[in-house]
Amino acid sequence: MIIYQGSDLLNYLEEKLSVFSSNNVRVIIVDKYYHLKPGAKRVIGQIREILDLNNPIIWFYEVDKVNRDLEYIDAFNLINYDLNFHDRFIFLYDLDLESYVLNLHVGTSLNGIKFYHGPGIFNIFRISIIDADYENLDSIQNQLENIYLKETKKEKWDY
């Protein structure tokens, strides 16, 4: 879906995520630019609110502009791992069902989203549900999970 206004993006997230609001989920973001500009913060805030999330969002990055640990984000650097893609994703993993329940492909860095000029001014932005036959999805998710387990010494996407 092409998004032209900030409010449309927030509505899109509401529509896609709210069905999982009572599930026990983890949110996994892959965006190599970990900057948390106001646009990204607003998206994260919206996700946390819709899902009533009580665990940190997992953010995989390569370039860190935050330089501090945030309570609501577990951030992991991909720079030493072999994930050679530039795409950005938001995945929802259901801890009880032990499966991914929603896979979103994001057409720009979350940090590229600007809301703060008002409703009339917003960078064009694309977000879509990933097709089930998306070629590398299994491999990407498998590798991310492996990295998470290695870095945290946990057994699954647990917290």
Partner 1 sequence: MDIKTFKELSDLIQEVDSSWFLYQEQIKKIYSEDNYKVLIDEFEEFIRNIDSKDKPKLSLLFYSTLLVIQYEKLNKIADYCKDNESLRYLKIGLDIFLKGKYSDIKYEIEMGINNYQNILEGIDFFSGYAGEIGHNLSHIILVFKLIYQIDKKTFFDYLKEDKQNGIYLYFMISPELEFEYPNLIDLLNSKDAIKRNGAFNYLMHKFHYLVYDYNDGDEISEEITTELIDIAKITEGVEIDKRIELIVNHIFLENKFPDFFINEIKNADIDLLLKFIRKQNHNKLSNIIKLEVFINHRSDTEIQKVFVDKMLEWVKKWALKSTWSKYKSSIKDILNDLDKDIRTKFREDIKKLKTNLFISKFDLQVRYSKFLDDNHKTEIIDDILSWEFKSYDIDGPDGDLL
Binding residues for partner 1, per CB under 8 A? 32-33, 62-65, 79-82, 84, 86, 109, 112, 114, 117, 121, 139, 142-143, 146-147, 149-150, 153, 155
Residue 7 or 146: the one with the smaller Cβ distance to partner 1 is 146
CB of 105 to partner 1, least distance (A): 15
CA 129 from centroid of its chain's CA atoms: 13
Specify the residue for token string 């913060």. Answer: 41
Angle ∠(51,20,69) on CA atoms, nearest 5: 35
CB of 47 to partner 1, least distance (A): 22
**Would you say 118 and 48 are in contact if contact means Cβ atoms under 8 Å apart?**
no
Q: What is the number of residues in the chain?
A: 159
CB of 53 to partner 1, least distance (A): 25
Which residues have C-beta within 8 Å of that of residue 51, sequence separation ≥ 6?
17, 20, 21, 23, 25, 27, 92
CB of 62 to partner 1, least distance (A): 7
Residue 23 or 152: the one with the smaller Cβ distance to partner 1 is 152
Residue 11 or 142: the one with the smaller Cβ distance to partner 1 is 142
Residue 53 or 61: the one with the smaller Cβ distance to partner 1 is 61
Q: What are 140's two structure tokens? A: 């990407």
Residue 12 or 81: the one with the smaller Cβ distance to partner 1 is 81
CB of 28 to partner 1, least distance (A): 15
| Farthest CA pair distance, the chain | 46
